[in-house]
Amino acid sequence: MGTLSFQKIDKNIYKNGVVVGITDELAPEQNGYFYIPDIVVKGDLSGELEYEGRIMVAEQIETLVGMEVGQFGVRGPIWKNVRCKILK
C-alpha cells in the first residue's frame, strides 16, 4: 500500500528565488542528471538553477519551440528534452 502525502509538489525551476521555468511533471534524478521533457520558459535559464531542492545547470536542449498549442491552450516558449547536470 502506498504512502499518502499532503506535501505540495513544486514543478517550478528557480534562479535566485524567482521562477524562471515550469515543468509539466517532476523529473526523476538519473545518474547525476535531471532529464526534463518540457520546460515552459519564464525567465533566464542560464547558470545555476534550483529544482526539487537541488542545484543544477542546463547542459543540453533538444528542441526550442516558440509556441505550442495543446489541449489546455497556447503556451511558450518551450524547451523540450532538456538534460540538466545536478551540481548539489
Per-residue pLDDT, 6? 63
Domain boundaries, the chain: 12-86
pTM for this one? 0.83
Q: Which helix (H) or strand (E) holds 68?
A: strand 68-70
Note the pLDDT tens digit of each residue in 21-52.
999 888 889 999 999 999 999 999 999 999 99
| Alpha-carbon gap, residue 79 to 27, rounded angstroms | 14
